[in-house]
């Protein structure tokens, strides 16, 4: 079965998708005049520099979450088990060279995430309660369907939704958390999975607002906790850092020979693993986190789009890099281990037994925030699906979903334990479910590039003093047909 899954992943994450992602990322990088690089200080100032401000009091515009709560939920959904188990799997299968391709994908991913978040906020809908919701299916309907008069917009929307909901049934968070807790504390994977399931029920019970508040309290702590622990190991092995970078760069273009328990990897496998794990980790191009960003209280779509760039930067350039270097400098990358177990071993070698506990706690926190963050993605897709249905039917379906949501994760653990499914096979399922919506989404945002570039031009004029403000621009699609003086006051 593992060989079959590997072939499917090889096809889906083959050259067509890799070239598409890189092309779209490079296109927007050039079209925006290297925005994510040239204006990185501005991106960090308007994101990291405002984290400790009282966001709810300062932000304008309608929304459910503050910008910080939205990005905390999105970061919690992306900075998760992919950063611990996913990075480890990429190195275990593709070798250290996979890390360079993760970086490459992340650098263009910063602008891709900015585009998809901006479009999600621009094209979002407001429901009967005055709450906004958006995402790829919304800009497919309005951007492709209404503005470009593409009558078959529902076809890519359905394919996209199918791909996203594939992760609902083949979810990794519960499995990775249970694996880490079981191997560290000697608890069975199934009891650990049940405990996580109960926790998830508690957090999602209060809806999107409660998830946002929990994320805004957990995420900053968990990211800082993990970063400091990883930096301690890297600094303690500072003499190995140069060699680690050497392995990363040489392996990226020459493949990696078999060594120890590592079976070796050719260049194509290195690129495939690096890019697939990057997308699964930071979700750039996947079209997932833009859904939660669309609920933010913000008065300009690009303002929230910049938080998307920050999200990718923190997720991959910072957190994934620390994970990767920790695994490589401790020398365990070629041990034959994979997934969370490889990262757990690296921290245990680097810090001692306490390192294993640090990662176990990190995996639990990451797993909780990822699982609850993804609940919002599914919720918003269902809201769009039932948008024109009777409100009673919609409420009933959403209520049923909230009760059923944690069950597949628990079922995956029970199934994996009962048949002895290896961790690498579980990650192959993740690659399959992420490839389909990613391909659809990056093509769609390329088709809507003109709309994004006009919004970015306006943002640069208003907040960076570059160019002139267009008084007639409509910042939110819903405001079309109303006076810009009434709807676009900044």
- Predicted confidence (pLDDT) per residue in 455-484, tens digit: 999 999 999 999 888 888 899 998 876 544
Topology, domain 2-487? Amino acid/polyamine transporter I (1.20.1740)
Report the percent of the chain where pLDDT is more than 70: 84
Tell me the per-residue pLDDT of 188-199, one tens digit each, with 9 for 90 and over: 888 988 988 898
**Phi, then psi, of 357 in degrees rounded to 5:** -70, -35
Whether the predicted pLDDT of 59 surpasses 60: no
Whether the predicted pLDDT of 176 surpasses 80: no
Q: How many CB atoms within 10 Å of residue 185?
A: 11
Is the model more confident about 170 or about 352? 352
Average pLDDT over residues 124-131: 80
Question: What tokens were used for 394?
Answer: 């919609």
**What pLDDT sits at residue 489?**
35
**What pLDDT sits at residue 175?**
78
Tell me the per-residue pLDDT of 219-233, one tens digit each, with 9 for 90 and over: 777 778 888 888 999
**What pLDDT sits at residue 404?**
87
Tell me the per-residue pLDDT of 383-434, one tens digit each, with 9 for 90 and over: 888 776 667 777 888 888 888 888 888 888 887 777 765 555 556 666 676 7
CA distance 112 to 122: 15
381 Cβ neighbours under 8 A, 6+ residues apart: 135, 137, 161, 164, 165, 291
126 three-state secondary structure: strand
The CA–CA distances, whole Å, from 483 to 57, 96, 486, 488 equal 26, 55, 5, 8
């Amino acid at each position: 079965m593992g060989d079959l899954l590997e072939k499917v992943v090889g096809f889906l994450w083959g050259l067509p998708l890799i070239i598409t992602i890189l092309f779209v990322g490079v296109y927007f990088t050039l079209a925006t005049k290297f925005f994510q690089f040239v204006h990185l200080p501005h991106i960090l100032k308007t994101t990291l520099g405002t984290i400790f401000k009282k966001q709810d009091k300062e932000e304008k515009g309608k929304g459910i979450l503050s910008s910080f709560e939205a990005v905390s939920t999105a970061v919690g959904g992306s900075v998760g088990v992919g950063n611990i188990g996913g990075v480890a799997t990429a190195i275990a299968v593709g070798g250290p060279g996979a890390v360079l391709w993760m970086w490459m994908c992340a650098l263009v991913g910063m602008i891709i995430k900015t585009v998809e978040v901006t479009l999600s906020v621009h094209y979002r809908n407001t429901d009967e309660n005055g709450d906004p919701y958006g995402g790829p299916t919304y800009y497919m309907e309005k951007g492709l369907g209404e503005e470009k008069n593409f009558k078959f917009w529902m076809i890519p929307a359905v394919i996209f939704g199918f791909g996203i909901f594939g992760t609902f049934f083949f979810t990794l968070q519960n499995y990775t958390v249970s694996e880490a807790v079981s191997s560290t504390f000697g608890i069975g994977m199934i009891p650990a999975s049940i405990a996580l399931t109960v926790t998830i029920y508690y957090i999602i019970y209060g809806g999107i607002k409660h998830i946002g508040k929990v994320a805004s309290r957990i995420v900053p702590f968990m990211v800082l906790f993990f970063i400091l622990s990883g930096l301690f190991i890297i600094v303690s092995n500072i003499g190995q850092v140069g060699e680690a970078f050497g392995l990363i760069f040489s392996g990226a273009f020459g493949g990696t020979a078999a060594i120890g328990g590592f079976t070796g990897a050719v260049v194509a496998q290195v690129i495939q693993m690096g890019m697939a794990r990057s997308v699964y980790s930071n979700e750039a191009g996947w079209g997932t986190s833009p859904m939660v960003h669309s609920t933010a209280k913000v008065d300009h779509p690009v303002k929230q789009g910049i938080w998307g760039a920050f999200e990718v930067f923190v997720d991959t350039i910072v957190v994934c890099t620390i994970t990767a270097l920790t695994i490589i400098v401790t020398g365990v990358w070629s041990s034959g281990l994979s997934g969370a177990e490889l990262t757990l071993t690296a921290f245990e070698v680097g810090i001692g037994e306490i390192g294993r506990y640090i990662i176990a706690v990190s995996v639990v926190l990451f797993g909780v925030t990822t699982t609850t963050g993804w609940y919002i993605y599914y919720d918003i897709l269902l809201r769009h699906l039932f948008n024109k249905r009777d409100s009673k039917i919609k409420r009933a379906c959403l209520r049923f979903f909230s009760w059923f949501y944690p069950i597949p994760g628990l079922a995956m653990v029970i199934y994996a334990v009962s048949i002895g499914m290896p961790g690498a096979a579980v990650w192959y399922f993740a690659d399959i479910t992420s490839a389909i919506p990613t391909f659809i989404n990056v093509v769609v945002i390329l088709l809507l590039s003109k709309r994004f570039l006009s919004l970015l031009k306006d943002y640069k004029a208003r907040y960076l003093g570059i160019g002139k403000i267009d008084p007639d621009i409509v910042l939110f699609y819903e405001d079309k047909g109303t006076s810009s003086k009434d709807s676009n006051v900044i």
